[in-house]
Amino acid sequence: MIGPIEGAQLAPLTFIVNTRRLNTSMKKRATKAGGGKKKSPRFNSVEEYLDSVDPTKERTLRSVLDLILTQFPELESKISWNVPTIHRNGKYVVGICAYKHHLTFSAWSPRVIEDFKMRLEKFVVMKNCFQIPVDWKIDNDLVKDLVRARLAELD
């Protein structure tokens, strides 16, 4: 039988564990207190948002927004959740925003995305949105059909 090591104490081990807990909680507090992520600017208009992105993204975003607003004059654009969104009578129709390496088009509807999954095969598709390239040659028919489908769902 092996006995206790002569002179061994458990207190230093307990101290190390407590120090690790203390260091972890201190790091969490420091992050919350101002370290960590830089805050995104708050946009007051779609134009302000578009002005904040690089020219390639801005050109694609503007083309999609202009297409929708031209084809569906009853719709309006505004900033919601700090990104451009298209509304009809206060209800979300679609949204589009820029990320570092892609743009995201949101139909605000898992059902619409599911109905279009065959036409969206070349994109990265999520539950209610899909990613498009920053320099996307806009598929006008796809965008118009997505908007029509979302409007029909809202009716």
Domain count, the chain: 1
Q: What is the pLDDT of residue 16?
A: 44
Within a domain: residue 93? yes
Residue 123 lies in a domain: yes
For the stretch 73-82, contacts whose Cβ atoms lie closer than 8 Å and that sit 24 or more positions apart, written own/partner, are: 75/147, 77/46, 78/45, 78/46, 79/43, 79/44, 79/45, 79/46, 79/48, 79/49, 82/40, 82/42, 82/43, 82/49
Nearest to 107 by CA among 82, 89, 132: 132
> pLDDT of 17-56, one tens digit each?
444 444 444 444 444 444 556 677 899 999 999 999 999 9
The CATH number for 105's domain is 3.90.1150.200
Identify the pLDDT of residue 65: 97
Find the domain containing 61 and state its range. 54-154
Residue 12 has pLDDT above 70, yes or no: no
Share of the chain above pLDDT 70, in %: 75
Within a domain: 124: yes
Is pTM beyond 0.85 here? no
